[in-house]
A and B are shown apart, each in its own frame.
Chain A
Amino acid sequence: MTRLSPSAKSIALHVGVVLLLLALNVLLPEYHRGVLARVLVLAVFAMGYNLAFGYTGLLSLGHAMFFAAGLYGAGLTVYHLEWSVWPAFATGLVAGTALALVVGFLALRTTGVAFMIVTLMFAQVFYLTTLYFTTYTRGEEGLVLPQAARVLAFPGGVLNLSDPSTRYLVALALFALVLAVTLFLARAPFGRSLVAIRENEERMRMLGYDVFANKLASVVLSGLVCAAAGAAYAVLFGYVGSGFAAIQYSILPLLWVLVGGAATTLGPLIGTLFMFYVIDTASSYTTAHLLVVGLVLIGVILFFPKGIAGTVRERWLPWLP
């Protein structure tokens, strides 16, 4: 047997993960397939967050606004303008990217704690905006998109997104695409320079890198991926509400990425899946699932600051991307 190179190993691992997830579509019982479809979409959100937080080291507490921008961009156009899914999804992407560009441009003038608070505040303004225009968004109660509108038109036919199997496969397709992009970025010069900025910003500046432009690109890309997750959530699950813009949805991706492992490609999926099932299991014993979230956050930051995938990489598999 020939020994595989690290790069071949990591590509094989990622293809394997995607194939395993594909097989689970037929293997899993109905309930767990539904959960996993949701986890895949939210893992995309976490992967978007990971680009800014994990790779570039930008601790944002406002990523809910990018997710919600995608969610509302897609949801409102479907609901009020009766657009079909393709242009609505694109609107969500554009909304999230544009928002990330503006917020990134302003917030990146600050660093550290101030960056965290500024992003938190921008997200709070976005959340309040969704409440203020409650005539269109119906605030916390939210909008339910009609099933008839949630179909994806192809030249050869249509995909009905409210069908569980189709929904799972579409979520998986988006996940696989973003996973491939993250894997590519982590190995590309752009991704390497983001990590270098995280480790030593001053040195990068001295070496002649445009730190601000690189960070802005990272925030915009991160916003784009989060918006894709939001837009996909709207059309796949048919619900759009202010709750997704609230501060809790800025903290959750941070939690998922931390648990799974920051700056690892598979960490966001592992973290999201783990937390989903921890909360799911905990809810069957107690209603106090926020307590579990809190304890896990503190436990992880105290004992596993590198997260699950990060610890695996450190101890056993140094080639893990």
Chain B
Amino acid sequence: MAFGPYFLLATLEGLVTAAVLSLMALGLSLVFGVMRVVNVAHGEFYMLGAVLAWWFSSLVGGHPAVGFLLALVLSPLVVAAIAFVAERLVLSRLNYEPEATIVATIGLLYIIQQLALTFYGPEARPVEAPFNHRISLPWFGYSAYKLSVIGFSILMMLATWVLLTRTKIGLVMRATQFDRETAQAFGIPVGRVYAGVFALGAGLAAVAAVLIVPIQQAHYLMGLDPLLLSFIVVIIGGLGSLRGTVVAAVLIGLSDGIISMFFSPTLAKMLATLIVAMVLVFRPQGLFGAPAR
């Protein structure tokens, strides 16, 4: 293959990564933005979404699309419910104190990971894609499913954006983010808003995971790399800035796809991590974020 098609392939793969990554990072960013909680267990909600997707899709027979759609609906709901309960039982009792919540979510990470290992096992299992159509480009055929992942992610992000900016729920969430105490004084049930946001963030990670399982398999350790990547995306985009998150996800997804075509993946990860750490050191508000108030 000449350089051009090779580059196109790398770009397409990068866009798929970017699409899934931005959904997951959006969840992390929402939780941090509204609750000021760094959710270290976010990667495990993603893993849980993937594992549940396998389980739901293996429950029903028939056309693979049936199982996949079932997983796409149920898996994020179950994950969101688990996150909701975890928030009520643990995080709310810690008063959202940053360091305590980090320790608690690390504990949550271990619990979810261990339960997945115990009940799901150490194997990696695939979910069959809902359709196997290939779009033939002049140089190579490309999976239509991967393209639809990009499309669906964009839809999900638009939906989240509408939810945040055009609905009552979004207004309540933004009010809570802006000033927790004033919001409470105006009768907003801040505790329930926090639980809802935490559940929504986990649900977004689960949606991202369901979308990815037909491409990558479900495995109980699959959460760590996306978690670090999401941190990177959220930081580069500016903590709490949704627009920045999406731009950064595309940037990171594309450069990840393209760099790993030309360098060894370990070296690529090393460089990317180091660069992001330096961004955080010298520009703590991120590339797109405004300086802290």
Residues of A participating in the B interface, judged by any CB pair closer than 8 Å: 59, 61, 106-107, 109-110, 112-114, 116-118, 120-122, 124-125, 128-129, 131-132, 247, 251, 254, 258, 287-291, 293-298, 301-302, 305
> Is the beta-carbon distance between A113 and B93 smaller than 8 angstroms?
no
> Given the complex, which residues of B lie within 8 Å of A116, measured CB to CB?
38, 102
A228 to chain B, nearest CB (A): 25
Tally of B interface residues using CB under 8 Å: 39
| Contacts known (A117-B280, A294-B107, A295-B107); A302 close to B94, Cβ less than 8 A | yes
Of A59, A116, A251, A294, most buried by chain B (CB within 10 Å of CB) is A294
The verdict on B269 contacting chain A, using a C-beta distance below 8 Å, is yes
**Which residues 98-126 in B have Cβ within 8 Å of A in the complex?**
98-100, 102-104, 106-111, 113-115, 117-118
> Is the beta-carbon distance between B103 and A132 smaller than 8 angstroms?
no
Known: A121-B273, A294-B107. 6 other contacts (CB 8 A): A61-B102, A118-B281, A132-B264, A287-B118, A288-B118, A294-B110
**Which 10 A-B residue pairings sit nearest by Cβ, starting from the closest?**
A294-B110, A297-B107, A294-B111, A298-B107, A291-B114, A121-B277, A290-B114, A294-B107, A128-B270, A290-B110
> Given the complex, which residues of A lie within 8 Å of B218, measured CB to CB?
none
> Is the beta-carbon distance between B276 and A132 smaller than 8 angstroms?
no
> Is the beta-carbon distance between B273 and A301 smaller than 8 angstroms?
no
Docked pose: A128 CA to B271 CA in angstroms: 10
Q: Return the CB mask of B262-280 against A: 1 if under 8 Å, else 0.
A: 0010110110011011101
Number of A-B contacts (CB under 8 A): 109
> Given the complex, which residues of A lie within 8 Å of B277, measured CB to CB?
106, 118, 121-122, 125
Docked pose: A294 CA to B224 CA in angstroms: 16
The verdict on B64 contacting chain A, using a C-beta distance below 8 Å, is no
> Is the beta-carbon distance between B273 and A132 smaller than 8 angstroms?
no
> Is the beta-carbon distance between A113 and B38 smaller than 8 angstroms?
yes
Q: Return the CB mask of B241-281 against A: 1 if under 8 Å, else 0.
A: 00000000000000000000000101101100110111011
Among candidates A110, A128, A287, residue contacting B266 with C-beta atoms closer than 8 Å: A128
> Given the complex, which residues of B lie within 8 Å of A291, measured CB to CB?
110-111, 114-115, 118
| Contacts known (A113-B98, A114-B280); A297 close to B110, Cβ less than 8 A | yes
> Given the complex, which residues of A lie within 8 Å of B107, measured CB to CB?
293-298, 301
> Given the complex, which residues of A lie within 8 Å of B270, measured CB to CB?
125, 128-129, 132
> Is the beta-carbon distance between B102 and A59 smaller than 8 angstroms?
yes
Among candidates A128, A254, A294, residue contacting B108 with C-beta atoms closer than 8 Å: A294
| Contacts known (A113-B38, A117-B231, A118-B280); A59 close to B266, Cβ less than 8 A | no
The verdict on B284 contacting chain A, using a C-beta distance below 8 Å, is yes
> Given the complex, which residues of B lie within 8 Å of A290, measured CB to CB?
110-111, 113-114, 117
Docked pose: A124 CA to B117 CA in angstroms: 23
> Given the complex, which residues of A lie within 8 Å of B26, measured CB to CB?
none
> Given the complex, which residues of A lie within 8 Å of B100, measured CB to CB?
301, 305
> Is the beta-carbon distance between A131 and B93 smaller than 8 angstroms?
no
The verdict on B235 contacting chain A, using a C-beta distance below 8 Å, is yes
Among candidates A106, A128, A297, A302, residue contacting B281 with C-beta atoms closer than 8 Å: A106
A268 to chain B, nearest CB (A): 16
Docked pose: A288 CA to B111 CA in angstroms: 9
> Is the beta-carbon distance between B266 and A114 smaller than 8 angstroms?
no
